[in-house]
Amino acid sequence: MTFADARAMFPVLQRLAYLNTGSFGPLSSGTAAAMAEEGQRDLADGRSGLAYFERGLALPDELRALKAELVAAPPDTVALTASTTDGCNVVLSGLGLRPEDEVITTTDEHFGLLGPLHASSARIVVVEPTAESILAAVSPRTRLLAVSQVLWTNGRILPVHELREASGLPILVDAAQSVGAIPVSVQGLDFVAIPGQKWLCGPDPTGALVVADPDALRIARPSSFSFSRDDGFDVAGAFVPRPGAARFEPNWISVATLAGLKVALTQAPDWSFERAAAQADQLRAMLAGHVDVVTSPEQATLVAFRPPDGRTAAEVTGTLMDLGVVVREIPRRELVRASVGWWTNEEDLDRLVAGLS
Ligand SMILES: Cc1ncc(COP(=O)(O)O)c(C=O)c1O
């Protein structure tokens, strides 16, 4: 696939300098067409019948396998979810943490992780987002590390595998800004929560959760997908869990959404990571003469900077939006964040820089 082919997949790029994949990735024509086709089938044939249910159960099998391949996970450790937050909730509710337990997290986490952390009973220890601070906070009470692999505030990469190895503690990785943006292997990690709608450019709501050892996590939020089809459940509610991580799947996801996700997961070219990293580096360099860039070199695909000329991040984001440049502000940080993907071209970056003056 050439760069021109790749770019042509995403109609939004014809009009907008779309630099907000950290919130939602661009949808491709192929993804939208697959969703529309299934939607039409739902309308014409009704959401019923053997063929419908067979499709609704076969597609998740395919999608688990595709997601597993993306992050080098065994397919039976992957559950389909509706979001990153969904995955964090499944893990934190299932671990059965108690008030005397501690979980270490960082100052730069999204509420998608922080919310589920605070809903657990554990004491949350918040430290600076560096490996040194995280490891220094480990105590005999620490039960879990819960951190992002790429910080949503500034794109910094945290060495999650090293943290797991050095601490010997289970780790929950929020991979919202990493999977699809940079190469990710989940090997050696305990729990990894992944969105489908960001860097994988899938429909919303979609996501996945990797649970390395499904038998070791309690099913705290059972759904119709939690019990074994062979053993079923009894009238008192007791059930034999379905094999693998699919037991944690919280919801039926519409066939149209699954069909769209399947297209999205198979559309990235093999040069995607290289190209996205190069474009992010280029943006850093282009912004350097104009604004205070807070993202260090050689991080992920988010580039954050302080608004110029005493303007607020909201003002800058609004002005850029009027000019057809889509970025976002990071609340409470007074930062503007641009998301650079494998589909981003020089003109997108020029439009952003020009819009700042
Ligand atoms: C680091 C991080 N974690 C979690 C989330 C929440 O993602 P989701 O909407 O998939 O739950 C976001 C969303 O931007 C994020 O940036």
The pLDDT score that the predictor gives to residue 342 is 98
The pLDDT score that the predictor gives to residue 168 is 98
Residue 23 sits in a domain whose CATH number is 3.90.1150.10
Say whether both 322 and 179 belong to one domain.
Answer: no
Say whether both 342 and 298 belong to one domain.
Answer: yes
Residues in Cβ contact with 180 at an 8 Å cutoff, skipping those fewer than 6 apart = 25, 70, 198, 199, 200, 201, 268
How many CB atoms within 10 Å of residue 235? 5
- Give the C-alpha distances (Å, rounded to integers) separating 294 from 50, 304, 353: 54, 6, 16
**Rg (Cα) of the chain, in Å, rounded?**
21
What confidence tens digit (pLDDT) does each residue in 126-185 have?
Answer: 999 999 999 999 999 999 999 999 999 999 999 999 999 999 999 999 999 999 999 999
Atom of ligand 1 nearest to the CA of 83: 10
Output the six-digit token pair for 281: 């580096």
- Among 86, 325, 324, 317, which Cα is nearest to 208's? 86
- Among 246, 150, 243, 254, which Cα is nearest to 195's? 150
84 Cα to the center of ligand 1, angstroms: 6
**This model's pTM is above 0.85:** yes
Q: Which domain holds residue 325?
A: 3-28+270-354
Domain boundary among 237, 265, 293: 265
Q: Are 243 and 237 in contact (CB under 8 A)?
A: no
* Neighbouring-strand partners of residue 24: none
Say whether both 241 and 329 belong to one domain.
Answer: no
The pLDDT score that the predictor gives to residue 182 is 98
Q: Are 170 and 147 in contact (CB under 8 A)?
A: no
Residue 147 sits in a domain whose CATH number is 3.40.640.10
Say whether both 76 and 175 belong to one domain.
Answer: yes
Say whether both 226 and 142 belong to one domain.
Answer: yes
Residue 33 lies in a domain: no
Say whether both 230 and 244 belong to one domain.
Answer: yes
- Residues in the chain with pLDDT values less than 50: none
The pLDDT score that the predictor gives to residue 229 is 84
Q: Distance between CA atoms of 205 and 182, rounded to whole angstroms? A: 21
Say whether both 261 and 276 belong to one domain.
Answer: no
Residue 187 lies in a domain: yes
Q: Tokens 């949503």 identify what position?
A: 152
Query: Do the bridges between strand 335-339 and strand 302-305 make them parallel or antiparallel, or are there none, so unpaired?
Result: antiparallel
Instruction: Give one DSSP letter per residue of 145-181, joined into a string.
Output: EEEESB-TTT-PBP-HHHHHHHH-S-EEEE-TTTBTT
Say whether both 48 and 137 belong to one domain.
Answer: yes
Number of domains in the chain: 2
Say whether both 141 and 286 belong to one domain.
Answer: no
Say whether both 92 and 208 belong to one domain.
Answer: yes
Half-sphere exposure at residue 103, Cβ-oriented, CA atoms within 13 angstroms: 27
Ligand 1 neighbours by CB, cut-off 6 Å = 22-23, 83-85, 110, 112-113, 148, 152, 174, 176-177, 195, 207
Supply φ then ψ for residue 64, to 5 degrees.
-60, -45
Q: Tokens 């419908």 identify what position?
A: 52
Atom of ligand 1 nearest to the CA of 87: 11
Query: Do the bridges between strand 78-81 and strand 335-339 make them parallel or antiparallel, or are there none, so unpaired?
Result: unpaired
Say whether both 76 and 168 belong to one domain.
Answer: yes
The pLDDT score that the predictor gives to residue 266 is 97
Q: Are 329 and 336 in contact (CB under 8 A)?
A: yes
195 Cα to the center of ligand 1, angstroms: 7
The pLDDT score that the predictor gives to residue 339 is 98
Say whether both 84 and 164 belong to one domain.
Answer: yes
Domain boundary among 265, 280, 305: 265
Domain boundary among 265, 291, 322: 265
Residues in Cβ contact with 295 at an 8 Å cutoff, skipping those fewer than 6 apart = 154, 155, 156, 284, 302, 303, 304, 305
Atom of ligand 1 nearest to the CA of 198: 10
- Among 198, 234, 190, 201, which Cα is nearest to 88's? 190
The pLDDT score that the predictor gives to residue 232 is 84
Q: Tokens 């009894």 identify what position?
A: 234
Atom of ligand 1 nearest to the CA of 150: 1
Half-sphere exposure at residue 331, Cβ-oriented, CA atoms within 13 angstroms: 3
Q: Distance between CA atoms of 116 and 231, rounded to whole angstroms? A: 31
- Cis amide prior to 60 (ω within 30 degrees): no
What confidence tens digit (pLDDT) does each residue in 180-226 have?
Answer: 999 999 999 999 999 999 999 999 999 999 999 999 999 999 999 99
Report the nearest-CA residue for atom 16 of ligand 1.
Answer: 152
Pocket test for ligand 1, best of 24, 84, 108, 251 (most atoms within 8 A of CB): 84
Instruction: Give one DSSP letter per residue of 5-29, joined into a string.
Output: HHHHT-GGGGT-EE--TTT-PPPPH
